[in-house]
Amino acid sequence: MAITTPYRRTSRQFTDGSYSEGGRWMYLLHKRYATDPRHYVRAFLLLQQDVLDLFSYVEPSDKNLETYSHRIQQLLMRACVEVEANLTAIFLDNKYEAAKGNLTMQQYRLIDISHRLSSYEIRVPAWQGSNGVRKPFHGWSQGASLPWYQAYNKSKHNRHENFRLASFDALIDAFCGLNALLSAQFHDEDYSPSGKTLGLNGACYTYDGNDGMEPGIGGLLRVRFPEDWPQDQRYEFDWRQLSALEDPFQNFDYAQYA
C-alpha cells in the first residue's frame, strides 16, 4: 500500500512514477512541510556562485581531480557543513529525538532509508572527462563511508597532514551531494518569490542531448531522481484534500531503524 500522507521534508516518487506532474509538487509549499527551507536553499546558491568562480581558475575536468588549495578546502568545509545542517534539519522536522545531541555520519545514514540519497545522480555540466556524473551517497547503499566526507573530516581536524585530501574531486562530490540532499527534500523548488527554480543569474548551463536528467535547484547541476522506489514506499494522495487539514504531514519514524 502506498504512502497516503507525505513525510515532512521528504520528496518522493508517486505511484505513477512522477514527482511533480499535475501540481502534485504543491505540498512542498505548505508551511508545515519544512522549517524555513529558503534558508537552506539560499546557502546552497551562495556556495554555487563561489564554485562557479572557482571554475574560472580550475577547469571542471578529470585532469584536475587531485588539485588542492586553501580555497578548495574552504569550499569543501562549507559544502559539508551545509550537508550536516540539512541532514540535521530533516531529523529535527521529523521529531527524531536523537537529533538534539551530537550526531555522527552513522546516524545520518538513516536518512538514506527515508530519502533514497544513494540513488541520486548529479551531472556537472561542461565537465571534461568521464567523472562529470556523480553519485555522492552511493557508498551508503554498500554499507560504506563517503570518501568526500572523510576528506572533509580529516582535513578539518588535521589540515597540515591531510591537506591534499581536500581535493577538487572531494569538493565536487560534496557540492553534488548537497544538491542531491536539497533535491530529496524540495525536488526543484527554490522558494524564490518568482516561482520554481530560477537560481542565480548566469548559473544556468545548457546541455545538448537527452541525458534523462532534470535541472536541479540553482539551475547549474542536473539531477536524475530515484526511479527505484518500491511501490509501497511511494506517495499516493490527493493534495487538494490534504491541504485543507491543519497539518497534512506525518513524521518519519527514524527510531525504529536506529
Between the CA of residue 65 and those of 94, 131, 164, 204, 222, what are the distances in Å? 37, 9, 11, 23, 20
In a domain, 76, yes or no: yes
In a domain, 121, yes or no: yes
pLDDT digits (tens, 9 = 90+) for 160-183: 999 999 999 999 999 999 999 999
Please report the pLDDT score of residue 56 as a whole number: 97
In a domain, 65, yes or no: yes
Please report the pLDDT score of residue 201 as a whole number: 40
**Long-range CB contacts (< 8 A, 24+ apart) of 229-233?**
229/12, 229/13, 229/116, 231/2, 231/15, 232/1, 232/2, 232/3, 233/2, 233/3, 233/12
pLDDT digits (tens, 9 = 90+) for 70-123: 999 999 999 999 999 999 999 999 999 998 888 999 999 999 999 999 999 999
Q: Three-state DSSP class for 219? A: coil
In a domain, 66, yes or no: yes
CA-wise closest residue to 103 among 128, 85, 78, 126: 85
In a domain, 8, yes or no: no
Q: Which domain holds residue 142?
A: 36-230
Please report the pLDDT score of residue 1 as a whole number: 84
Q: Please, which residues bridge with residue 99 across strands?
A: none
In a domain, 250, yes or no: no
Task: Please give the model's pTM, rounded to 2 decimal places.
Answer: 0.94
Split into its structural domains, the chain has a count of 1
In a domain, 252, yes or no: no
In a domain, 16, yes or no: no
